[in-house]
A and B are shown apart, each in its own frame.
Chain A
Amino acid sequence: MEETLNKNIKTEISVKNLNLHYGEFHALKNITMDIPEHEITALIGPSGCGKSTFMKTLNRMNDLEQGVKIDGTVLLDGVDIYKTMDAIELRKRVGMVFQQPNPFPKSIFENVVYGPRINGIRNKEKLMEICERSLKQAAIWDELKDRLNKSALGLSGGQQQRLCIARTLAVEPEVILMDEPTSALDPISTGKIEELAMQLKKDYTIVIVTHNMQQATRISDNTAFFLLGEMVEYGKTDDVFANPKDERTERYITGRFG
C-alpha cells in the first residue's frame, strides 16, 4: 500500500515492491514506502513482523547473512542501493545504532574515531576535532571529555548507547537507523536518547524500530505498522494513532488481541 505523505517534502529513501526471502520463508512481502528526509519515521509491529529485517535492507546488513534473497528497489536519494551502489559506500551514508549498545573494546576516543580512521583520516588534530564534534552532537561530551582514553566498556548502558550514536555520527551519514535503541535502557537514559533523536532530525533522517508505542507517538513524525512481513499501514503518526485506517492497526495499537 503506497502512501506519499506530502508532495512538498523531499524523500530520502524510496522503497518499491521490496520482497525478501530467508531461504523458503517469505519475510518481507511487497513493501512500498517513501521515507521523508529530516523526519523521524517509526516502524512498529509485533515480534517477528519483519520491521527489523526491513530496516536492515536499508543499509544492506542483510547481506551478511546466509540464504537471503532480495527483490525490488531501494533508492537512496534516487540511487539504487543494491544494483548501483557499493555496500561499503552505502553504510557510510546510512548508519546504524543497535538494540544492545556495542562499543568496541577500545578507548572512548578510539571508538568514536573508528569510522573516520578507516576512511583514511590520520591527522591527530582532525581526529580530535571529529571526536569532540561527534560527542557534542550526542550530548555526551561533558561527561566523557576527561576520560577519552579510558575503555568504553567501563561506561554505563545509557552512556555506551550514546557513545555508539556518536560513533555513527562521526562518519557523517545522511540517515541513521535505530533498532530499538532504548529497549535495554532505564527510563532516564531512554529520555536522553529520545531527546537526542529529536535534536538530530534537524540534520539527519532517522528511522527507528520500536516496541514502545508511547515512544513512537512522542518522537516520530511518521509511523509504519508491520504485520507478518506486510506493511499494513503508513502515515503521519498523529493520524495512525488517533484514527487508524486498518482494523489490524487499530487492534495492535489498542492492545486488543485474543
Chain B
Amino acid sequence: MIADQRTTMQKRVHNAQRMNRIMTVVFYCIGGFFLVLILVLAVYIIINGIRSIYPGVFGFDSDGIGNQFFNTVYLVFWSLLISVPIGVLAGIYMAEYAGDNKLTKFIRISIESLSSLPSIVVGLFGYLVFILYTGAKWNLMAGALAVSILSLPSITTTTEDAMRSLPKSYKAGSMALGATHWTTIHKVLLPACLPRIITGVILAAGRGFGEAAALLYTSGQSTRLNWSNWNITSKTCPLNPFRPGETLALHIWVMRTEGSLNAHSEEIANVCAMILVICVLLFSLAARMITKHVTRKQTGDNA
C-alpha cells in the first residue's frame, strides 16, 4: 500500500519538476527575445545612421539636422515647463486632497482617457485650438502645448502613485510634530517621492522627444533659424517659441515623403533616427542613475 502511494507521489513530484524546468526555459527565452529585439532594433538603426553620416549632417543649416535637434530639445523643455508643475500638483491633489467620491472617480477616468488618446487626435486638437482658433501660424509653442497634453496624464499618475506608495507613517509623523498638511507635503512627502517623480518626468521627456503625429499640424514641418538673430520676436530667432519648429521625428517623416527634393533625404532620415534612438536610451539611463543616486541619499549608504 505504502509503496504504491510512494510511486504516485514520486510521479507527481517528477511531473511538477518537469513543468518547472519547461517554464523556466520559456521565461528565459522570452527574456532573451526581448534582449535580442531591442539590440537588433537599436544596432540596426545606429549602424544605418553611422553609415549615412556625411559631412555637414550635424550642421545648423538646411542641409543639416542641427536646427531640428535644437527644436526638439527646446520643445521638450517648454512642454515640461508646462506639464510638470500642473501634473505634479494634480497628482498631489489626487493623492492627498481628493475625497473618495464620484467627482474624484470622474477625474480619474478623465485622466486615464486623456492618456490613451491617439497622439494624432491630440495633434488635430492642437491644430484647432492653438493654430486655427488663435489665428496663428505653425509654431513651436503650439507643439509644446500638444505634447504637454500627452505627457500630463503620465506625470499626474506617476506623482499620485508615488505619493500613495509612501508609508502613511511619514505623514502621521510630520503632522504629529505640528506641521500643516501643505508643510508635510512639500517638506516630507514630495522629497520622498522625488526619485519616482524624476523618473516619470524623464520618461515623459523621452517620449516627447520622439513625438511626431502630434506635431504634424502644430509646430510645423519646416524650420528656418538664423543663429545670429537674437530679436526674440523675429520668426528666425532660435529662442522665440512662437515660430515654426520642426523636430527630429517629424523631419524623418518629412524626409521620407516630400523630401525627395533634398539630395540627402535618405541619409538625413537615418541619422535622425539614430539620434532619436540614442537619446531615448540616454534618457532611460539617466532616469535610472538619478533614481539610484537620490534613493541612496535617502535610505543611507546600506541601500
Do they bind each other?
yes
- Residues of chain A touching chain B, judged by Cβ–Cβ distance below 8 Å, are 59, 61, 64, 88-92, 95-96, 98, 100, 102-106, 114-115, 117-119, 150-155, 164, 167-168, 171
The answer to whether B176 and A118 have CB atoms under 8 Å apart is no
Question: How distant is B180 from chain A, measured CB to nearest CB, in Å?
Answer: 6
| CB pair A105 B172 closer than 8 Å | no
**Known contacts A92-B178, A115-B178, A171-B178; is A164 also within 8 Å of B298 by CB?**
no
Contact B300 A154 (CB under 8 A): yes
Instruction: Check A154–B176 contact: CB distance below 8 A.
Output: no
> Does the CB pair A102–B167 fall under 8 Å?
yes
**Known A-B contacts A100-B169, A114-B187; A105 and B298 likewise in contact (beta carbons under 8 Å):** yes
- What residues on B are CB-neighbors of A155 within 8 Å? 300
Q: A102-B172, A118-B179, A153-B303 are in contact. List 13 more A-B contacts (CB 8 A).
A: A64-B175, A89-B178, A90-B178, A92-B178, A104-B192, A105-B298, A106-B191, A114-B179, A114-B188, A118-B178, A118-B187, A154-B299, A167-B173
Given known contacts A118-B187, A153-B298, A153-B299, A61 and B178 CB-to-CB distance under 8 angstroms: no
Interchain CB contact under 8 A, A106 and B175: no
Please indicate the chain A residues that have their CB under 8 angstroms from the CB of B172 in the complex.
61, 64, 98, 102
What residues on A are CB-neighbors of B177 within 8 Å? 91-92, 95, 114-115, 118, 167-168, 171
Residue in B167, B173, B183, B188 with the greatest tally of chain A CB atoms within 10 Å: B173
8 closest pairs, A vs B, by CB?
A: A154-B300, A151-B300, A102-B169, A92-B178, A105-B298, A91-B178, A96-B176, A102-B173
Does B170 interact with chain A (Cβ within 8 Å)? yes
Q: How far is the CB of A114 from chain B (nearest CB, A)?
A: 6
> Given the interface contacts A89-B178, A95-B177, A98-B172, does A104 sit within 8 Å of B299 by beta carbon?
no
Contact of B4 with A by CB under 8 A = no
With CB as the reference atom, state the residue of chain A lying closest to B171. Answer: A64
CB distance from B166 to the nearest CB of A (A): 9
**Residues of A close to B11: CB separation below 8 A:** none
Which residues does chain A contribute within 8 Å of B176, judged by CB atoms? 59, 61, 91, 95-96, 98, 168
Bound CA span A201–B227, Å:
72
Verify B173–A98 contact, CB threshold 8 A: yes
Residue interface bits B147-181, CB-to-A below 8 A is 1, else 0: 00000000000000000000101111111111110
With A89-B178, A171-B178 known as contacts, the answer to whether A105 contacts B192 (CB < 8 A) is yes
30 contacts between A and B (CB under 8 A): A61-B176, A64-B175, A88-B179, A89-B178, A90-B178, A91-B177, A95-B177, A98-B169, A98-B172, A98-B173, A102-B167, A102-B170, A102-B172, A104-B170, A104-B173, A104-B174, A105-B192, A114-B174, A114-B177, A114-B187, A118-B179, A118-B187, A150-B300, A152-B300, A153-B299, A153-B303, A154-B301, A167-B173, A167-B177, A168-B177
| Complex contacts, A106 vs chain B, CB 8 Å | 191, 298
Q: How far is the CA of A75 from the CA of B173 in the complex (A)?
A: 23
Which chain A residues border B228 with CB–CB below 8 Å?
Answer: none
Known interface pairs A98-B173, A102-B172, A104-B192; A151-B299 also in contact (CB < 8 Å): yes
Complex Cα gap A155–B298 (Å): 12
Does B51 sit within 8 A of A, measured CB to CB?
no
- For residue B297, CB closer than 8 A to chain A, the reply is yes
Which residues of chain B have C-beta atoms less than 8 A from A90's C-beta?
A: 178
How far is B174's CA from A106's CA once the two chains are assembled, in angstroms? Answer: 13
Q: Which residues of A are found within 8 Å of B167, using beta-carbon distances?
A: 102
Closest to B168 in A: A102
Q: What is the CA–CA distance of A257 and B227 in the complex, to the nearest angstrom?
A: 87
With a CB–CB cut-off of 8 A, which chain B residues contact A95? Answer: 176-177
- Cβ–Cβ contact B298 & A151, under 8 A: yes
Alpha-carbon separation in the docked complex, A114 to B173 (Å) = 11
Listed residue (B172, B177, B183, B303) with the most chain A CB atoms within 10 angstroms of its CB: B177
Docked Cα-Cα span, A95 to B177, in Å, equals 6
Residues of A within 8 A of B169 (CB): 98, 100, 102
Which of B178, B192, B297, B299 is most buried by chain A, counting CB atoms within 10 A of its CB?
Answer: B178
Q: List, in ascending order, chain B residues with CB within 8 A of A64's CB.
A: 171-172, 175
B297 and A151 contacting across the interface, CB-CB below 8 Å: yes
Contact of A88 with B180 in the complex, beta carbons under 8 Å:
yes
A91–B171 alpha-carbon span in the complex (Å): 14
**Is B257 part of the binding interface, using a Cβ–Cβ cutoff of 8 Å?**
no
B5 within 8 A of A: no
- A197 vs B297: C-alpha distance when bound (angstroms): 32
User: Across the interface, which residues of B come within 8 angstroms of A152, CB to CB?
Assistant: 300
Query: Please, how many angstroms separate the alpha-carbon atoms of A151 and B178 in the complex?
Result: 23
Q: Is the CB of A61 within 8 A of B175?
A: yes
A230 CA / B282 CA spacing, docked (Å): 62
Residues of B within 8 A of A119 (CB): 178
Q: Report A-chain residues with C-beta under 8 Å of the C-beta of B299.
A: 105, 151, 153-154
Q: If the complex has contacts A102-B169, A105-B192, A106-B191, are A91 and B301 also in contact, measured as CB distance less than 8 A?
A: no
- Please state if A88 and B178 are interface contacts (CB–CB under 8 Å): yes
| B-chain residues with CB within 8 Å of residue A59 when the two chains form the complex | 176
